[in-house]
Every structure is written in structure tokens, then in C-alpha cells.
Amino acid sequence: MRAFLSCLSVKKNKQKPRYQEAIILASETSFTVNEIKALYDLFKKLSNCIYDDSLIHKEEFHLALLRNSHKQNLFADRVFDLFDVKHNGVIEFEEFVRSLSIFHPNAPKEDKITFAFRLYDLRQTGYIEHEELKEMVLAILTESELTLSDEEVESIVNKTMMEADSKGDGKIDQEEWKELVEKNPALIKNMTLPYLKDITLAFPSFILNTDFEE
Amino acid sequence: PCFNAFDIISLSQGFDLSGLFEKD
């Protein structure tokens, strides 16, 4: 908790984006320039929680999501890995904004469907396979401290595979995933963050305190 | 069981990015 509370003290930033960069980001994402300013203050807090380097490390990401920097969570790891577009072990500000933009209520549904597919495609094969699905079900059961028998888990996974795998080849491709989401839109409900609709109103102090380089 | 596996998985705390926006 102490480490998390330290997030609240914004430290000196080392990678202050230029105003022009914010304009470009705004033009290429669902955010306005003011919202990107607000996101920058949020980013500064998150990225200096543990390491004072204005980069979000996995431990800092876990601390924000799970309130514990050392807690294991398959799904938080997957989200982090997708945000870390450069695959260099940290999330930079631009990666943070571009990835969060997919979670904006105004972002295209197609982008949300694709992002969710990539989250679930653990081995990045282009398919969600039976074993991956089972691994994720087992992970959420562990996370929730719930116990199901192997037969029950298999039954859930098999039923889902039968429902989604319309081509019958034993794996779920992007097209089948999209069809499944069209039938059950709630499957991507966690791909939309209402907070992002108007982050400047939700966090007005961010705007007041933000100092982009002109 | 009558749950879709993805319905269950989506309940993970690791997917709840609202945690990023909590002030304290």
C-alpha cells in the first residue's frame, strides 16, 4: 500500500512530450489534446511509482491494477505485453496513449475485437486453441480462489469451443472470434473504459497541473 | 456448466483497467 500511495506524488518527468507530439497523437487516437494532457499526468504517476524513470514497468502496472507489484496475474501480463508494442519490457507514453485509445468508448468496435483476440491468443499463433482457453480458465479460477474439477473445466472449455469453432478445425480464428462477439457483445465489455470518455472532467487536476513543452 | 469460458475469463482483475485511474 505504501508503494502505491507513493504513486500520488508526481516526480520529475524525464520524457516530457512536446505539444506537437500531443497534436499528432490526438489526430491518430480517440483522444483530444486536452485528454492526452490528462493522460500524461496519469502516466507520470504510474510510471514513477517504483522506478523513477517515466516508463511503466510491469511491476508498476501490476501495482496499479492489482494493488500488488509482485502478484502473479496471467491477464495483467497479457495486457502489459500488448501495451508494450516495442517489446522492450516497459510501456512508454505513446504506447500507453495508443493502447488506451482502443479502450475509449468511441474507438472502433473492430479494434476492440482484434485487441481482445490478441489478448486471448496466448501463444500468438493466430488462433485461440483449446489448451490456451483451458489455461486461461484455470488462471481465473486460481485468481478467484475457486475450485472446479478437471471434468467441469473441460466441459466449460469444450462447450465454448463448440460454440465458437464454426469451422470445426479445433481452434478459434479471428473470423470465428468476431462471429462469437457479434452473438455475445458482452464478451468485449471490458474493452471499453467509460473513464476515458471524459478524462478531463473526471480528473480536472491533471489538466491544471500538466506542463507540456510548447 | 452453462458458462461461456470467455465470460468467466473476462472477470479477471487483470483486465479491469479502471484500476489505472484510481487516485488512491
Cβ <8 Å between A137 and B5: yes
C-alpha cell at A69: 507489484
Report the complex ipTM.
Answer: 0.88
Closest residue to A75, CB basis, from B4, B15, B20? B15
In A, minimum Cα distance to B19 occurs at A65
Cβ <8 Å between A156 and B20: no
Residues of A in contact with B21 (CB under 8 A): 42, 193, 195, 199, 202-203
Q: In Å, how far from its chain's centre is CA A4?
A: 19
User: Measured in Å, how far apart are chain A's first and last C-alpha atoms?
Assistant: 36
**Nearest 5 degrees, angle CA A21-CA A24-CA A26?**
110
User: d(Cα A49, Cα A4) in Å, to the nearest integer?
Assistant: 7
Residue whose grid cell is 472446479: A148
Per-residue pLDDT of chain A (214 residues; tens, 9 = 90+): 444 444 444 444 455 667 888 999 999 999 999 889 889 989 999 999 999 999 999 999 999 999 888 888 999 999 999 999 999 999 999 999 999 999 999 999 999 999 999 999 999 999 999 999 999 999 999 999 989 999 999 999 999 999 999 999 999 999 999 999 999 999 999 999 988 887 777 665 555 555 555 5
Residue whose grid cell is 502478484: A71
| Number of inter-chain CB pairs under 8 A, A vs B | 96
Q: Bridge-partner residues for A128, per DSSP?
A: A172
Residue whose grid cell is 486461461: A136
Cβ <8 Å between A157 and B4: no
Cβ <8 Å between A66 and B23: no
**Nearest 5 degrees, angle CA B14-CA A63-CA A124?**
40
**CA neighbor of A133 nearest in space, from A176, A91, A104, A189:** A176
